Amino acid sequence: MSKTALKNLVLGLVAAAILAAMSAMAVTSRLNVHPDELDHINAGRYFMRYWDFPAMDDPRLAHTFSNYGVTYLQQLDVVYFFAGKFARLVLPLAGQDYLALRFFNVFLFAILMVLFLRLPDEKKIAFLPLFITPQVWYVFSYFNGDAFPFFLTFCMVYCVARLDPPVCPLPLSLHNRDMRRLLWLGVLLGLVCISKQNYYVFAGFLLAFFWVCGRAAHDLRAAAKNAAVVFLLAGVLFAGRWSYNVYVNRTVRPEVPTQNAEKYAQEDYKPSAQEAGTQFWGLRMREQGLTYPQLFSLWTWHIWSFRTSFGVYDYLKIYAPFVYYRYIGYLLWTVMGALAVSLVLQGGPGGLSAVLAFLLFAGLTVFQSTWHSWVNDFQAQGRYLFPIGAMAGMVLARFSKGANRSLPFILPLAVGMLVLSFYSFVFVGLTNIPK
């Protein structure tokens, strides 16, 4: 067996092991022992029965409201439509509707593994973020609204990795294979923007990424036209979904969302409780007098967000020994530091700009999450930081030549993170999740 064949066999076995562990979590874990899963399941169940997107006063929404008094079906998210139709098809095999919906996410991750294995060897490093944290595997092992946009962004990483050259030369033509990949980027970005609001910062990063690619190729004009194609198509998709939502709700009175929240929300989540100052402690903490620095000094947002990025299960109740997070953190910062140095020194034109753009938008992603926790609802959860993984993947895809220079150093560290991730997912999460 050749060295390449052996390497591909090992990578295939790793991908299969991850999918097996995820499938075990999906099949054996009890319904609603994962964050907000029942609310997501109820939204998916709606589209297992119906085809139309409902208005906010639609009586069919009665069983889809969360303890916040809101329903995922009143947002622009399209994941519930796709998941509901997928679940309807596989229901005879899955047996239970919630299992069918869970396997929608498992299926998405399987697609990512196929895309990973199809990448040229020098580009495979772009998918590194999928292998170094069990939190990603966990999010894909139960039904929620976070796995789908993350899946879409890594499909975009795949498209960028396959672009050659990274900036399509002018004039653009549909007969050009890379032009078609640009169109796919536009479709995927449009779907991302109507899937999860915390991914809007990723759209900003993509715009900066085009500038970085244009600067590296010494052709900013072509990069600008490439970006225009992608963002124009994404804008059309977003405008279409937004306009349809406006049309569906055209006769809905403005006070209906507040009335729904008052009717369906848990007592301390009701608008009246918030007006009276008796709301849940984590709501609108800024209005309750908490300062922004106290988000870190008093409520340790940074500590919990890091832990929930690297393996916390159930309703944030099952976590590994604290030493696990310490050592996976050491490995993470070392890998990131080594890659950053390699990109700056060996990445060629644009390497430094790419690292700076990544740091800027990664920082904005973190700030966005802290702001939400401070102003709206305290949720120190790593899933809000997932766009950072896709940003890193995109940089690694474009500057893989420079990143691979550090591979002899980071590979053992990445393998260490993979081993720790399996430990967390299997012996902490899968072992202790309620069944």
Q: Where are the domains of the chain?
A: 3-432
pLDDT, tens only, 345-369 = 988 888 999 999 999 999 999 999 9
Tell me the mean pLDDT in the region 211-239. Answer: 92
Where is pLDDT greater, at 232 or 277? 232
Q: What is the reported pLDDT for 271?
A: 86
What is the rounded CA–CA span in Å between residue 259 and residue 60? Answer: 16
Residues 349 and 166: their CA atoms lie apart, in Å, by 13
When computed from its CA atoms, the radius of gyration of the chain, rounded to whole angstroms, is 22
b/e map 82-114, b = 16+ CB within 10 Å: bbbebbbeeeeebeebbbbbbbbbbebbbebbe
Helix, strand, coil in percent for the chain, rounding step 5: 70, 0, 30
Do residues 396 and 339 lie in contact, with contact meaning Cβ atoms separated by under 8 Å? yes
By mean pLDDT, which of 125-134, 164-173, 212-221, 394-403 is the weakest? 164-173
Share of the chain above pLDDT 70, in %: 98
Query: Element (H or E) spanning 313, and its range?
Result: strand 312-313
Q: What would the two tokens of residue 372 be? A: 């939400």
Are 35 and 317 contacting, i.e. CB atoms less than 8 angstroms apart? Answer: no
Burial tier of 317 (Cβ tally within 10 Å: 0-12, 13-18, 19+):
exposed
